Amino acid sequence: MEGAGSAIIVYRHLQRLSAKGWGITVVSDWGQELKYCEQEGWPVFHLTHRKSWWPPYDPANPLLRGIRHWLWAGECDRFLKGVRPDAVFTYLSAFTSFMSQVALAYSRRYRLPLSLIAHDDPACFAQSPETGVEMRRTYQAIVGRAHRNWFASPELAAIYDLPDSRRTTLPPIPDGFEASPDWKPEFAASPLVVYAGNYWPAQLPLLARMARETAAAGGRLMLLVKKSPEVEALCREEPVLWREPFRENREALAFLAENAAGLLVSYTESSDAMPWIRTSFPSKLIEYTHLGLPIMIYAPADSAVAGWARKRDFMDYATPQTPGAVAGFVESLKNREAWHCKAVFSRKFATTEFDPVRIQDAFEAGLN
């Protein structure tokens, strides 16, 4: 699907493989969106859920689970008509390991290399601590048997017991965007700072505080997010602008390049409200660097992006407990020289560690 999350990252990797001549076959569960696969011409196989002669499937029963995984592996092989793939690739969803378990079963039965991408700690999204422990145990079994694991951050890689040879960090691959925005005279009067993408309700109190600080410094804060009753209430009560999200990612990037003076990557005052930020890495930061605009990272000290920012002496990183950080960022956007300095600083990451070609080359090299 278009937008944030693992699905679009997987899609971008597959697109680039396909463009280089790889043949792509997608094995899917029922009910998943197929539009993008159809556009690319990738054949899609839906798993058969049951056959009259198959034993029942019980994911809690190791024997019945193992039998069904073995049968599903055979289904995949029959769909491919015996063609032996060069690689099996899956992403480890934070909410279910079902398809990754099928990928593992297929790779093991036919002795094929399995590679996977992981962006989030599943325990952070579990409905109970007990469920979280069980999910982590299941995911550990999968990553422990894959020949290649790509994690979105070193912090995420560290939660699993793995040898270093199978513990690799791979940033979420961006769409990439050729932009050369320049400082505009209107920034001197009222610079526009934009937060774009997905949000969680727990972020809104901090966004409200940032909106007030931005307004006090003479700037404007815009949210480019889906409308909700909470967002509507925020816009009524606080100095917040709102714009409806664009249908396509590149349209959103073009809007930001044309209108924004600065961009915002923020979470909550404490990681306790969003515990997954301790290991997840914001793909929006990677996208933003390609715009060549100043970026402010406003995140708790124990978040993965904060660790990244500290190691790189990121110009505008601050915790929500840092007095005057937002106001200082807004004031700097009013000055042409300061703005350019920050823009050049953020852009350098687009040509180094966040270069999509560099990320894709590392991904492809590890597939088989």
* Claim: this prediction has a pTM higher than 0.75: yes
Q: What is the pLDDT of residue 3?
A: 44
Tens of pLDDT along the chain (368 residues)?
A: 444 478 889 999 999 999 999 999 999 887 777 888 999 999 999 998 889 999 999 988 999 999 999 999 999 999 998 889 999 999 998 888 899 999 999 999 999 999 999 999 988 988 888 888 888 899 999 999 999 999 999 999 999 999 988 889 999 999 888 888 899 999 999 999 999 988 999 999 999 999 999 999 999 999 999 999 999 999 999 999 999 999 888 999 999 999 999 999 999 999 999 999 999 999 999 999 999 999 999 999 999 999 999 999 999 999 999 999 999 999 999 999 999 999 999 999 999 999 999 999 999 999 98
Extract the runs of DSSP E, i.e. beta strands, from 105-237: 114-118, 148-151, 168-169, 192-196, 220-224
Residue 263, token pair as written in the block: 């961009």
The C-alpha atoms of residue 169 and residue 359 are separated, in whole angstroms, by: 10
- Please list, in sequence order, all residues whose beta carbon lies within 8 angstroms of the beta carbon of residue 150, skipping any fewer than 6 positions away: 115, 116, 117, 118, 168, 169, 170, 363, 366
pLDDT given for residue 202 in this prediction: 95
Amino acid at residue number 102: V
The structure tokens 């714009």 sit at 243
